């Protein structure tokens, strides 16, 4: 379908003022389709002009001001006849349920056969549910009415009440919801099915958590933690913004199956992927991540829902603020006090990678020609880089001024749309400082600055001079930075000195506080990780890190070390084996729950892609040994999963096999469903288990998660027939859901199967344009993100990627994802060239 252009949106926003939507949905028409009626009241500033309304579905009838209109449709657009000053448009349609997570997604729970629906409208998928003017700056009040099976619960943006249901077979009930808004239609949702619900009231707001019936026991068990996090976060926001939650007295959060993203900030009814309702034991890092997601989506109630971007070039107004506040609130309102360390390794490493790649873009780009291009910017620049810029802005203005400016911004633009200029103008007015230049340097440019220490020593080994130099990306302006310089000694002594790098010039800045001190064993620029910049680590410092890291008291500072050591690996300046050796030496003493998971994932990535095959097994064995060392400590759950993915020797694999029998299991490591599937996946990959074992495990775990895991295992079978079947699912099957599609990609491309899948590498590049022609943007995101042959690191793969990118007919989503994946192949080639 054609993507709405910014020029079209500007024209339509000038022509129309939308007052209200009355949406009626009929969810009783079976497993394929649903009924939809959209009644839109709107004004036209130029009577006699015409426009169009979007609908991705089958229009049945339409009237404008009571007069039937011809259904002149082009793809997803219905052309309207000349408009009056005041108008009422009624469109009756039939929509189709999706399996992609876009529009009204339908999933069936294999545990009990129950169906669940989830409406996902962002960024332009409201039109898949009802006829609408699908752009963010045409806000309107939305009133929802739903007819659904009598035994279903229906949830929406507003509070809903069910009429007395019918009785008997096929009985239905009618749900009527209170009006909400004015709101952008991309924030619309409806969730329906036999949900299990728990509620709690706090400070005048009723909080609800909801999940599939088959997960009820898990929700009941975790409800206390979930409510505590939600209520503490809401209290924090209401205090910080001096404003009550702006959308009434209810706040629902729904765990939904097969959700395309992590979560979505629909007004009053946040939807969350139900993998985060844990059915197995998880390390604290997973719970910390879930806490951040809860706080992140709640921040959107102000940033995005109350004040909404005008167009998708200002996506950062939503996501950068939610990212910044999500981690901050978790660090201040929960037990996860090392949240910024988690942010540094979990979020900023992808941010540095994205901002140094060929698909980088400014945090606030000036050119987003259509919605399809806006969707591409839901990435690690709009999120962690933007959040890092906001941390800098808070440091520049001071906390009190920063939050006073946000309160003024909400007051001025509540229930309206805003732009970068509106935010920066408000902040400049409140602070008394013109922030235009700051915004231009931080938000309108690309690339990562490099900070370098220049030091001189006297005859006694003391600093006679210390300066911080800054290198901007090629062609970029000088960015201001507020940082700290950390002085660390192997004895455990440390200090941290604040330093300001102004935007007036690129001259090095002296640090006189360090003059006369003994030379540090580690002089860490960007100590505590206050800015978005790379820092150099010298060979001598790299050699001392195993000794130094356990003595460093701050998780964010340790994360800066890990982040920049990894940057050296990616640049081919430090062998991947050395990074793994550092992890083996330092992680057993790491107290923060958020740092080890990301570091270990990097180690696995190093083994899978940054090392040639002949060096891989030794690195996996080193990782398995590290996991064994961690099994007796606080990271034991994480260690068990790492061992399940990295075991390579006969002894390691025999240990895993014994765990499946309930033997030799370490204390505190439950061999539950998730760990069993991880072990089975490793055994299958190595040819030590097969279809019979997969079928038996699925019979014991006949759940949605079990089916996804079984699909991943089947794709990982080292068998030509199994690979061909997986390939059919990956490239040609139109019925496969988003979660199943991702599992196929994860299982298919295994480094152990390089010879078996070698012939599929050129096939991927040849067949991708064909599958892209009919897949939705959401499924394309999965097909390229998980299906790309990223473990086939070779010059041939790089050449095939370049050849594909030379075509001029690639969809924006395909081109962006291939550009990124192709760049990672080239990074891996450079990393492999490093001498061990």
- Residue 318's SS3 state is helix
Angstrom distance (rounded) from CA 457 to CA 451: 20
> What is the radius of gyration, based on Cα positions, of the chain?
27
| End-to-end CA separation in angstroms for the chain | 50
**Which member of 297, 541, 567, 590 is catalytic?**
297
Angstrom distance (rounded) from CA 15 to CA 13: 5
- Residue 303's SS3 state is strand
- HEC string of 213-270? HHHHHHHHHHHHHHHHHHHHHHHHHHHHHCCCCCCCCEEEEEEECCCCCCEECCCCEE
**Burial category of 730 from C-beta neighbours within 10 Å (exposed 0-12, middle 13-18, buried 19 and up):** buried
- Residue 179's SS3 state is coil
Respond yes or no: is residue 178 known to be catalytic. no
- Residue 330's SS3 state is helix
Contact 231, 202 (CB under 8 A): yes
Helical (H) or strand (E) element with 694: helix 691-700
Residue 731 has phi, psi (to 5 degrees) of -110, -20
- Residue 23's SS3 state is strand
Q: Sort residue 310 into left (φ over 0), alpha (ψ -120 to 50) or beta.
A: alpha
- With vertex at residue 224, the alpha carbon angle to CA 234 and CA 236, rounded to the nearest 5 degrees, is 15
Q: How many CB atoms lie within 10 A of CB 462?
A: 13
Helical (H) or strand (E) element with 453: strand 449-457
Preceding omega of 182 cis (within 30 degrees of 0)? yes
Q: Which residues are catalytic?
A: 297
């Amino acid at each position: 379908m054609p993507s709405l252009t910014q020029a079209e949106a500007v024209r339509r926003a000038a022509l129309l003022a939308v007052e209200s939507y009355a949406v009626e949905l009929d969810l009783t028409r079976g497993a394929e389709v649903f009924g939809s009626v959209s009644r839109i009241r709107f004004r036209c500033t130029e009577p006699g002009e015409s426009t169009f309304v979007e609908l991705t579905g089958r229009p049945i009838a339409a009237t404008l001001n009571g007069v039937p209109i011809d259904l002149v449709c082009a793809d997803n657009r219905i052309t309207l006849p000349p408009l009056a000053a005041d108008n009422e448009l009624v469109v009756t349609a039939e929509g189709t349920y999706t399996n992609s997570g876009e529009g009204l997604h339908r999933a069936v729970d294999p545990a009990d056969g129950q169906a669940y629906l989830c409406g996902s409208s962002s960024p332009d998928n409201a039109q898949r549910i009802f006829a609408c003017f699908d752009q963010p700056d045409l806000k309107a009040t939305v009133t929802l009415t739903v007819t659904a099976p009598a035994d279903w619960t229906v949830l929406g943006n507003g509070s809903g009440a069910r009429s007395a249901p019918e009785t008997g077979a096929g009985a239905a009930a009618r749900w009527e919801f209170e009006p909400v808004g004015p709101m952008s239609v991309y924030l619309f949702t409806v969730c329906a099915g036999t949900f299990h619900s728990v509620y709690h009231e706090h400070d005048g707001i009723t909080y609800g958590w909801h999940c599939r019936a088959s997960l009820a026991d898990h929700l009941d068990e975790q409800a206390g933690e979930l409510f505590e996090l939600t209520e503490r976060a809401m209290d924090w926001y209401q205090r910080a913004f001096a404003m009550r939650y702006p959308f009434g007295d209810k706040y629902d959060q729904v765990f939904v199956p097969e959700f395309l993203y992590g979560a979505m900030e629909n007004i009053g009814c946040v939807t969350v992927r139900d993998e985060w309702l844990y059915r197995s034991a998880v390390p604290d890092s997973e719970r910390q991540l879930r806490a951040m997601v809860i706080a992140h989506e709640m921040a959107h109630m102000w940033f995005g829902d109350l004040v909404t971007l005008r167009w998708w070039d200002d996506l950062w107004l939503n996501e950068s603020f939610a990212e910044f506040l999500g981690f901050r609130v978790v660090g201040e309102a929960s037990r996860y006090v090392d949240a910024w360390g988690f942010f540094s390794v979990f979020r900023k490493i992808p941010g540095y990678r994205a901002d140094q790649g060929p698909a980088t873009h400014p945090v606030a780009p000036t050119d987003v020609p259509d919605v399809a291009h806006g969707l591409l910017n839901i990435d690690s620049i709009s999120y962690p880089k933007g959040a890092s810029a906001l941390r800098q802005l808070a440091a520049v203005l001071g906390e009190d001024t920063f939050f006073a400016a946000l309160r003024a911004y909400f007051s001025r633009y509540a229930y309206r749309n805003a732009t970068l200029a509106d935010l920066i103008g408000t902040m400049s007015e409140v602070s008394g400082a013109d922030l235009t230049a700051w915004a231009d340097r931080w938000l309108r440019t690309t690339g990562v600055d490099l900070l370098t220490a220049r030091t001189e020593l006297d005859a006694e080994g003391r600093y006679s001079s210390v300066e911080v130099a800054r290198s901007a990306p090629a062609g970029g302006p000088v960015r201001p930075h507020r940082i700290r310089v950390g002085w660390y000694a192997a004895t455990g002594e440390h200090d941290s000195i604040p330093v300001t790098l102004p935007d007036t010039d690129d001259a090095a800045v002296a640090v006189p506080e360090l003059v006369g001190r003994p030379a540090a064993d580690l002089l860490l620029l960007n100590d505590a990780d206050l800015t978005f910049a790379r820092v150099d680590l010298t060979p001598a410092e790299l050699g001392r890190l195993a000794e130094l890291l356990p003595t460093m008291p701050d998780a964010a500072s340790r994360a800066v070390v890990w982040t920049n050591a990894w940057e050296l690996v990616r640049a081919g300046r430090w062998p991947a084996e050395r990074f793994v050796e550092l992890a083996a030496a330092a992680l057993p003493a790491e107290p923060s729950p958020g740092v080890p998971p990301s570091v270990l994932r990097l180690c696995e990535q190093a083994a899978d892609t940054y090392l040639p095959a002949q060096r891989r097994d030794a690195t996996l064995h080193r990782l398995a040994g590290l996991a064994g060392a961690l099994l007796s400590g606080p990271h034991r759950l994480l260690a068990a999963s790492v061992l399940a993915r990295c075991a390579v020797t006969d002894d390691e694999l025999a240990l895993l096999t014994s765990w499946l029998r309930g033997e030799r299991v370490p204390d505190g490591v439950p061999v539950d469903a998730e760990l069993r599937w991880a072990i089975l996946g490793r055994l299958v990959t190595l040819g030590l288990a097969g279809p019979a074992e997969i079928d038996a495990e699925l019979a014991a775990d006949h759940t949605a998660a079990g089916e996804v895991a079984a699909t991943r295992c089947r794709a990982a079978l080292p068998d030509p027939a199994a690979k061909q079947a997986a390939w059919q699912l990956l490239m040609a099957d139109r019925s496969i859901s988003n979660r199943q599609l991702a599992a196929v990609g994860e299982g298919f491309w295994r480094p152990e199967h390089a010879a078996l899948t070698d012939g599929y590498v050129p096939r991927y590049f040849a067949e991708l344009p064909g599958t892209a022609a009919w897949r939705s943007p959401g499924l394309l995101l999965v097909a390229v993100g998980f299906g790309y042959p990223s473990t086939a690191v070779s010059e041939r793969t790089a050449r095939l990627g370049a050849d594909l990118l030379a075509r001029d007919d690639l969809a924006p989503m395909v081109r962006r994802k291939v550009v990124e994946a192709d760049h990672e192949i080239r990074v891996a080639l450079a990393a492999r060239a490093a001498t061990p």
